[in-house]
Structure 1
Amino acid sequence: MQNLFRKLPKVDILMNNKELSSIKDKLSYNAFYELVTKEIQIFRDKIKSGLITDFTTDDVIKCTLNSAKKYDRNNLKKIINGTGVIIHTNLGRSIINKRIFNRVSEIATSYNNLEYQLSTGKRGNRNSHVEAILCKLTGAEGALVVNNNAAAVVICLNEFAKGGNSIVSRGELVEIGGSFRIPEIMELSGAQLKEVGTTNKTHIQDYEKAIDENTALILKVHTSNFKILGFTESVENKEIASLGKKKNILTMEDLGSGVLVDFSKYGVTKEPTVQESIASGIDIVTISGDKLLGGPQCGIILGKKELIERLKKNPYLRAFRVDKLVLSTLEMTLDLYLDEREAIKEIPTLRMITEKSENVLEKANKLYEALLEIGIKTTIAKTRAKIGGGSMPEETVPSYAIRFQGNPETLEKFFREGDINIIGRIHENNFIIDMKTIFNEDIPVIVEKAKLLKELV
């Protein structure tokens, strides 16, 4: 046993071994050191327990290489989305265009003019990088970006309704997610909630009757994450905007999803656009950047210039402001919208929503054939992919999926776990990978993972 202990290579020798240089390049020094020392300890423990009677340094190197395949200290990692949910909140919502991200990486790894005016050599405002293009695309007079839409609502209510009443329809008292509800946001902002109407019906007269000397704002919340069907009625933006002007009261809409294109032109159910909301005369509109807009996580506030200028001075802005990565990603995403055809083609979220079903079928056939070549028989099934993301929860688009044979729970777990993480779904007691949210470059990765499936069955 003592002779075996003496044969164990020293840590520094392993760390400088040429065969392990590929691992050394991928990991930080501490991570590489931890991996090597852990592997040596495993051999030491096996010697103590008598499980090893002889070994070579090459054996230790080989085991270290195998362990490195599973060694990932990062909790946040890439996964392949086979659920068919395009804007999947749990899986990071909208995907950023790769070309945009490559350009953003230059900004992230360099000094930049985040708060510096190149024309004057003086301090600038970080919001200026996106305000002009947001106004151009939406028709708003001013714009401000914060870290998410909830923050956008909070800072607006705090600035314009703190200590006063905000009138909201009972049918619009939504829970945004994670138990974050409109009444709680109101309380946090310092505004007082005044409910009007009923769950299924609210009339313009309900808003008008509720107005008194304490009324600071009328808030309309777009119910993008649920629908009330049947005997319902709600008040249009134009009516609310008109009432606000008549009574000299600010009006605001939490539009949420951030649609900048009319999806009905592409055969998808129409969702109210930001431009339509601004054109209605509503004073302030808030939207998300990482839902149907297809950009990074952020909240965007649009509205009258004097109101936006007030928000820029609000103390909350320091806590809610976004960084260089968000602003640069958002600016480049918005730039694509200057040509709608380019936006549909280049923004992954928009491309998947408007993608023709025959293109999805083509991807399904590729994966089907590739799996068949390695001896795994599957079938192709018609499905309906969800747009999702709290934006259009009930809206679906045609899709195709690869349907696997075998126990669905076992298959779901197999694809989800391990070095390669593929999230599919169980549909009609079958495990499927929906091709709507699969990219061509994902197909060989899925096949590589599936090669291990034979060992499972």
Structure 2
Amino acid sequence: MESRELLSYLPKVDVLLNDINIISIKDVSRNIVLESVRETIDEYRKKILSGELKSFEYEDIVNDVLIKVKKKSSMHLKRVINATGTVLHTNLGRAVLSKSAIDAVINAASRYSNLEFDLEKGVRGSRYSHVEELICKITGAEAAMVVNNNAAAVMLVLSTLSKGKEAIVSRGQLVEIGGSFRVPAVMEQSGARLVEVGTTNRTHLYDYENAINDNTGVILKVHQSNYKILGFTEEVSIEDLMQLGKKYDIPVVEDIGSGVFIDMVKYGLTYEPTVQESIKKGIDVVTFSGDKMLGGPQAGIIAGKKKYIDKMKKNQLTRALRIDKMTLAALEATLRLYLDESTAINEIIVLRMLTLDIETLRKSAQKLSKMLKSRLKDFCEVEIIKEFSQVGGGAMPLENLETYVVAIKPLNMSLEKMDYLLRSLDVPIIGRIYKDRMLFDVRTLFEEEYKIIADSLYKISQE
């Protein structure tokens, strides 16, 4: 059929708007429906003119309109199923909040709150009061405050203590923290001038001391949380840096990154320094994230000596970097769980996933495998494989967590197509492709998601 003739068969906008299937769309703005109709007709017209489309049915256009309406009227930020085995998956939102944190967010968001109101005195209060005492109780710090992420925390600390001055840092600690954001760039934005000392793999105490002058504002130590340098290496301990800082009356700041409150070695994981250890060693100021190993919402937590924290609270940047009531509610609820270690391990989702024993994971994989095999025997091969999960989120980069995955190999569909269809679902399923199989790591799955995966794969198998 000629392009001109094919174009003449394209339905008019009004015809589609009066189609029974499109009229039946409920709870969607007419503007969205109209926009979807016009865009669909335009797409068909372009395909016809380019020669890509040689024929079509009226029903095809109607179906495409319905798909477009559904997509346009759905939330763009949506729930996904994380079957990758990466617990702190930055692209998938990092830490999943505990039930108590979710309840706290709903409570704070759905009604008014005492965000900045002192109920006891009946006057304006500080939003930091809701979490400062908890942070100090857990870490042993004199004072604390919270901003919207750890990069902001580092920037605020340096802006307060080293603006217009020099900040000394080891060359081996000039990390990139993801999304092309780098510690030197964050330092530059703070107004502090970076002074690099040592080499990539070795930095000595005398390197720091030789760089100190009358314009030195802080000594900064950055924990290598998202990479490791192995072999012929040396770095200066916090204790030695603190002695040097006291000698020259210069504050020592540590960006510890992940924000670990519990020694995870006792649960079979690699050693990662805790915030409490840094405070106990006398660090002046320490910064860390709320949504990594801590298992809470995105936040940058600053703890340490009161005289420095008080200065930061008065910095004009603080207002630009402050957290909102929902983040504050989630953080307070998460911190309260840390008042009892066993409660934290059981109820904070990140910690629970990281400490799952291998037998529990094996049984979970068997359950998921059984559900898939019973429904997909003609669609794909299903088997259980021993594999490794990751911590993710720039934490514990060398940690390989033993796990079990359910591996599926489609028999009559390409792996790429199946992956695309899984990502296109109302609740997208994100697995990981390895060789010729799609892997579903049960470590990062919730039990109620097994049925969603089975139902979704069955639906795909029928297409």
TM range (shorter): 0.7 to 0.9
Shift of 1:418: 3.4
Residue by residue, what CA displacement relative to the aligned partner does 1:222-254 show, whole Å, maximum 9, x if unpaired?
A: 010110000111111111112111221110000
Deviates most, 415-424 or 153-162: 415-424
Structural mapping, 1:339-418, within 5 Å = 339-376=340-377, 377-406=381-410, 407-418=414-425
Does the alignment pair 1:425 with 2:432?
yes
Task: Flag the 1:416–1:10 CA change in 2: closer, same or farther, 3 A.
Answer: closer
Task: Flag the 1:51–1:190 CA change in 2: closer, same or farther, 3 A.
Answer: closer
Separation in 2, partners of 1:446, 1:218: 50
SS at match of 1:175: coil
From 32, 35, 42, give the equivalent of 1:34. 32
TM-score by length of 2: 0.87
Separation in 2, partners of 1:265, 1:251: 29
Task: Flag the 1:88–1:253 CA change in 2: closer, same or farther, 3 A.
Answer: same
SS at match of 1:252: strand
Does the alignment pair 1:438 with 2:441?
no
Separation in 2, partners of 1:38, 1:234: 59
1:79 corresponding residue in structure 2: 80
Deviates most, 129-138 or 211-220: 211-220
Separation in 2, partners of 1:212, 1:51: 76
1:451 corresponding residue in structure 2: 458
Task: Flag the 1:300–1:37 CA change in 2: closer, same or farther, 3 A.
Answer: closer
Separation in 1, partners of 2:213, 2:64: 75
SS at match of 2:118: coil
SS at match of 1:132: helix
Answer whether contact 1:14 1:36 (CA < 8 A) is retained: no
TM-score by length of 1: 0.88
Q: What amino acid maps onto 2:193 in structure 1? A: Q
Task: Flag the 1:121–1:206 CA change in 2: closer, same or farther, 3 A.
Answer: same
Answer whether contact 2:101 2:331 (CA < 8 A) is retained: no
Deviates most, 248-257 or 418-427: 418-427
Residue by residue, what CA displacement relative to the aligned partner does 1:429-450 show, whole Å, maximum 9, x if unpaired?
A: 4221111111101111111110
Task: Flag the 1:41–1:427 CA change in 2: closer, same or farther, 3 A.
Answer: closer
Answer whether contact 1:388 1:395 (CA < 8 A) is retained: no
SS at match of 1:426: strand
Shift of 1:37: 7.9
Separation in 1, partners of 2:241, 2:153: 20
Shift of 1:409: 2.9
Shift of 1:65: 7.7
What stretches of structure 2 of length at least 5 have no aligned partner? 1-7, 45-54
Separation in 2, partners of 1:270, 1:143: 25
Deviates most, 206-215 or 255-264: 206-215
Shift of 1:112: 0.9
Deviates most, 297-306 or 444-453: 444-453
Task: Flag the 1:382–1:119 CA change in 2: closer, same or farther, 3 A.
Answer: same
Shift of 1:117: 1.0
Aligned length, in residue pairs: 439
1:328 corresponding residue in structure 2: 329
SS at match of 1:452: helix
Q: What amino acid maps onto 1:80 in structure 2? A: I
Task: Flag the 1:189–1:365 CA change in 2: closer, same or farther, 3 A.
Answer: same
2:52 corresponding residue in structure 1: none
Separation in 2, partners of 1:51, 1:232: 66
Q: What amino acid maps onto 1:411 in structure 2? A: M
Separation in 1, partners of 2:209, 2:270: 32
Answer whether contact 2:86 2:444 (CA < 8 A) is retained: yes
Task: Flag the 1:213–1:400 CA change in 2: closer, same or farther, 3 A.
Answer: same
Residue by residue, what CA displacement relative to the aligned partner does 1:142-161 show, whole Å, maximum 9, x if unpaired?
A: 00100100000011111101
Does the alignment pair 1:215 with 2:222?
no
Shift of 1:131: 0.4
Separation in 1, partners of 2:174, 2:64: 57
SS at match of 1:440: coil
